[in-house]
Amino acid sequence: MLPDFPKIKQRVNELLTRYLQTLVRANPLLSKIKEQPVFEGDRLASNVRTGESVFEQISAQAPVKRKDIIEKGLKVYFKNIRLMADQLIEQKTKLLLTKIDQSTQETGNIVDLKGKPLTPERFLEFLEKIWIDFDDKCRPRIPTLVVSPEIGVQLKQKFAEWEKNPVHRQNFEKLMKRKREEWNDRESNRKLVD
C-alpha cells in the first residue's frame, strides 16, 4: 500500500484554490464586485430592496487523468485551474447580469433607448436614476457601465465629444451637485455600529 500525505494534499489543495480565486477575481467586471463570505443559510435578505435572494450554485470541473499527473506533474493542475476559472467567470458574469436585470425590472429603474442612439440627455437621465457616491475629494464615483466592446468604443468617443459641449458639461455639473447633496444626506443619516 502506498503512503498517503494528507497534510501535503491539503496544502496543495489550498494553494490551487487560492490560485483559482485569484484568476476569477482578476476579471475586469468581477473585480469591481465586493464579495463577502456567508458561512450558513441558504438565502440572503437585503435592506436595499425588499425580499430575499436564494443562493445559486455555480461550479466548474476539469477532470485530471492519472496518466497526465504522472507525465506532467502539477502543471496539469494549473492548466485545468485556468479552464475552471474561465467556467466560473462565465457563470458568475451571467448570474450577475441576470440579477441586475431582475432588480432593475422590479424597481423600474430602466432607461430604454428603444433603438435610438444614446444622447447626452439620455445619459444624464440614466445617471439620475442611480446612486452616485463620492470620494474624499468630493469627486463622483461613476459606476461601471457593462456594455459590449463595440459599444464601449462608441461610448468613449461620445463621452469625449460631450465633454467638449459646454451645455452638456453645465447639465452634468448641476446633476453632480444634486447627487453630491443626496450622497451627503445618505452619509449623514448612516447608522454607525458601536
Sign of CA dihedral 35, 37, 43, 46: negative
Supply the angle between the helices 6-25 and 75-107 in degrees, to the nearest 10: 50
Side-chain half-sphere CA neighbours of 55 within 13 A = 11
Percentage of the chain surpassing pLDDT 70? 94
pLDDT of residue 178: 94
Residue-wise pLDDT tens digits, 88-128: 999 999 999 898 888 888 877 777 778 888 889 888 988 88
Kind of pairing, strands 133-134 and 52-54?
Answer: unpaired
DSSP 95-128: HHHHHHHHHHHHHT-----TTPPP-HHHHHHHHH
* Confidence (pTM): 0.70
120 within 8 A of 168, measured Cβ to Cβ: yes
DSSP 138-173: S-EEPPPP---HHHHHHHHHHHHHHHH-HHHHHHHH
Confidence of residue 194 (pLDDT cuts 50, 70, 90): low
Confidence of residue 193 (pLDDT cuts 50, 70, 90): low
pLDDT at 46 exceeding the cut of 70 = no
